[in-house]
């Protein structure tokens, strides 16, 4: 899937640029994408390392287990494949909570750790497990209470009411999460 999409992006984009005589832009994009990626990773990496450190403390002290036990009744409904009290439940909940508070940067390390933890439960290491996909759907739905980036952009443009989008956003994001989870369930049944 990703493979085909990738070919489509590059071939259609390149041909379109060449036909329109914008080969210089194409050149530029090909050369600069490495630097763009490196910049992005350099942006993620420092915080990633800090959170991995903090999380390891939480893991060693048993706090992560405790959190995961407290919320596992809810999550085990969504992730029936994960055994009760498994480490990944705590990481998934931390990721969701951080996302809820609009802390995308803090949420990513939890999410990556959760995926690693889900991978230990996965029988076929090359193929996505059902739990992984459910977890990703929750993430791609962008569940958040306060879309901070957009509010600050609105503020920058002198909006009369920058936070007016908060309530509609909340409604849309939670209903779409609900729909996303239903879609995920339907797919999971079909793929069995």
Where in 3-62 is the site for another protein (CB under 8 A)?
A: 5-6, 9-10, 12-14, 16-17, 20, 22, 25-26, 29-30, 32-34, 36-38, 40-41, 44-45, 48-50, 52-62
From first CA to last CA, the distance across the chain in angstroms is: 19
List the interface residues with another protein, window 158-177 (CB under 8 A): 158-162, 164-165, 167-173, 175-177
Task: Name the one range near another protein by CB under 8 A: 75-83, 84-92, 129-137.
Answer: 129-137
C-alpha dist (Å) from residue 52 to 48, 68, 86, 116: 6, 17, 18, 12
Q: How far is the CB of 45 from another protein (least distance, A)?
A: 5
71 versus 142: smaller Cβ distance to another protein: 142
Residues 6 or more apart whose Cβ sits within 8 Å of residue 147: 102, 165, 166, 169
Q: Which of 83, 96, 144, 192 binds another protein (CB under 8 A)?
A: 144
Nearest approach, Cβ of residue 72 and another protein (Å): 19
Q: If we measure between CA atoms, which residue out of 13, 37, 12 comes closest to residue 25?
A: 13
CB of 84 to another protein, least distance (A): 22
Nearest Cα to 172, choosing from 149, 134, 145? 145
Tell which positions 69-108 bind another protein, by CB under 8 A: 98, 101-103, 106, 108
Q: Give the angle subtended at the CA of 30 by the CAs of 29 and 31, to the nearest 5°.
A: 95
Least gap, CB of 77 to another protein (angstroms): 18
Give the angle 89-93-95 at the CA atoms, nearest 5°.
120
CB atoms inside a 10 Å sphere around CB 158: 7
| In the complex, least distance from residue 73 CB atom to another protein, rounded to whole angstroms | 22
By CB under 8 A, name the one of 79, 87, 191, 192 that touches another protein. 191
Decide whether 76 or 122 has the Cβ nearer to another protein.
Answer: 122
Cα-trace Rg, the chain? 20
């Amino acid at each position: 899937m990703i493979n085909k999409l990738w070919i489509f992006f590059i071939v259609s984009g390149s041909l379109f640029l060449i036909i329109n005589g914008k080969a210089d832009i194409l050149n530029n994009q090909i050369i600069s994408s490495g630097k763009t990626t490196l910049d992005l990773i350099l942006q993620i990496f420092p915080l990633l390392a800090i959170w991995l450190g903090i999380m390891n403390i939480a893991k060693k002290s048993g706090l992560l287990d405790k959190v995961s036990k407290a919320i596992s009744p809810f999550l085990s409904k969504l992730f029936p494949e994960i055994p009760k009290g498994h480490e990944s439940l705590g990481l998934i909940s931390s990721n969701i909570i951080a996302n809820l508070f609009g802390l995308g940067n803090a949420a990513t390390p939890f999410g990556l750790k959760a995926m690693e933890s889900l991978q230990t439960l996965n029988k076929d290491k090359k193929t996505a497990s059902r739990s992984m996909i459910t977890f990703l759907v929750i993430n791609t739905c962008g569940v958040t209470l306060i879309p901070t980036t957009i509010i600050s952009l609105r503020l920058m443009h002198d909006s009369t009411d920058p936070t007016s989008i908060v309530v509609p956003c909340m409604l849309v994001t939670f209903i779409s999460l609900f729909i996303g989870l239903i879609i995920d369930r339907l797919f999971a049944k079909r793929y069995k």
